[in-house]
Structure 1
Amino acid sequence: MTASHSRERVLITGGGAGIGAATAERCRADGYEPVVIDRSAAHVPGGIQADLSDPAETARALQQALAGGPITRLVNNVGIVVPAEADRQTLEQFDLAVALNLRCALQCMQALLPGMREAGFGRIVNISSRAALGKELRTAYAATKAGLIGMTRVWALELGRHGITANAIGPGPIRTELFDRANPPGAPRTQAIVDAVPVRRVGTPEDVAHAVSYLLDARSGFVTGQVLYVCGGMTVGVAGV
């Protein structure tokens, strides 16, 4: 990035760990100033602490983030996995997944949109999941991540005329604390996931952050409404061309 980007800010939800933290680090390397909202943001320089499953706390955090001026780049990364068989997925789990994986993204977009429109420029990157295509034990997670892709496509159609792009990233298995909680290391099911990856490894948060970097770039303005699967090839033969 050029020096002119040094004061441009990027809002990253759930940026305290995992993919979000790697994305924040990559944004710093690219010359942006990351603004992280996370429930454990105390250790993040300039981080804003908030429970993003709560609309009121989300609104407060967004107001604090925007007190420094408009933000024209947004990474909707916060999310939760609540693994359960379909007949055991509780409504409480489903509501939590909707709140964090879906509602928060909409609320953040709506808060930043006026500044993007005024600037005639915006970049929205939604972190979805390969699980949106279907995965066992992921009723709530797959539903909300698929919904995030649907919203991405609508935003691309509605906001393109304002110079705003909206894209989604569908990570495959990425080695994070969240992944390890849902897929215990050494478990047969976890090993089966690794064996199913064509490149024969689990991804890293940096793999996803690299894709986010491309979609945040001002030069990526002709790419919108797309889903970029960062999955080691797992979606080949599954996702539509």
Structure 2
Amino acid sequence: MNSGTGREVALVTGASSGIGRAILERLVMDGLHVVNLDIAAPAAASPHETHIAVDLLDEAALGQALAQATQGRAITRLVNNAGIVRPAAIDAVRRADLQAVMALNVAASIACVQAVVPAMRAARFGRIVNISSRAALGKGERIAYSASKAALHGLTRTLALELAADGITVNAVGPGPIATALFERVNPPGAPATQRILDTIPVRRMGQPQEVAHQVASLLDARAGFTTGQVLYVCGGMTVGLAP
């Protein structure tokens, strides 16, 4: 079964704004119907979008939203994009911050995978992309965030091994500095720390959400069946010499 429009269906979390919105718009352009799980509604919904309002930190609510998303739909593509940062160095990070970041960035991603894998296995086809970050390689004042994104890398590799025989690929995309409202919230324009980030980007500019969306779309493509368990950084060259 599909969306009722003849389009294959993708599920993208946090797709009402920022990078998630760019991913949704690209997938719609590529001919998919997208189910958007986001606590906020999009400013302008696409006719090929189903928005389900949900707080992904609420485990019970997320379970209900995923049941609604998969009811009558065979979702064959998943993008775990939603995430939170909560910047803090080791002396200031709180257990509550760590728990919230891990719950959204990792546990919610696992719940989404569990919800869509049965349909992917039945179709003998599936594409999963987890949105990581170059912070997984280490970044000051990102104790909880970098730990959660590094955890996503382990999840990506393990899922890739577990699901490969079912025709399901699992990869991660790690953005560097991307021009979004979220980036500006945690990296205020004009702040010395923000300028230091900009000065270290080899291509000498910020990335755009559409550039991340392009790489995500390529990994979701049916022709990308021989790439799995990989982390692709979209960072303007910032991770060259750092990424394993």
Q: TM-score range by the shorter chain?
A: over 0.9
* Structure 1 residues without counterparts, runs of 5 or longer: none
User: Does 1:104 pair with 2:108?
Assistant: yes
The one-letter amino acid of 1:29's match is M
Matches within 5 A, 1:69-148: 69-148=73-152
Q: Say whether 1:186 aligns with 2:190.
A: yes
For structure 2, the residue ranges without an aligned partner over 5 or more in a row are none
Question: How many Å apart are 1:6 and its aligned residue?
Answer: 5.3
Task: Judge conservation of contact 2:17–2:42 (CA < 8 Å) in 1.
Answer: no
1:19 is matched with 19
CA deviation profile, 1:134-189 (whole Å, cap 9, x unmatched): 00000000000000010000000110000000000010011111111100011111
Shift of 1:222: 0.2
Residue 42 (structure 1) shift: 5.7
Runs (4+) off by over 6 Å:
none
Counterpart amino acid of residue 80 in structure 2: N
The residue that corresponds to 1:7 in the other structure is 7
TM value normalised by structure 1: 0.96
Instruction: Give the superposition deviation at 1:68.
Output: 2.8
Is the 8 Å Cα contact of residues 54 and 99 (structure 1) preserved in structure 2? no
Check 1:209–1:69 CA distance in 2 against 1; reply closer, same or farther (3 A cut): same
Residue matched to 1:29: 29
Contact 2:172 2:232 in 1 (8 A): yes
List aligned pairs for 1:218-233, cutoff 5 A: 218-233=222-237
Quick one: which of 207, 210, 214 aligns to 2:211?
Answer: 207
Contact map agreement 2:90 2:141 (CA 8 A) in 1: yes
Shift of 1:25: 0.2
Deviations 1:53-88 (CA, angstroms, capped at 9, x unpaired): 111111111111111322010000000011011110
Which residue number corresponds to residue 54 of structure 1? 58
Q: Say which structure is richer in helix.
A: 1
| Residue type of the alignment partner of 1:9 | V
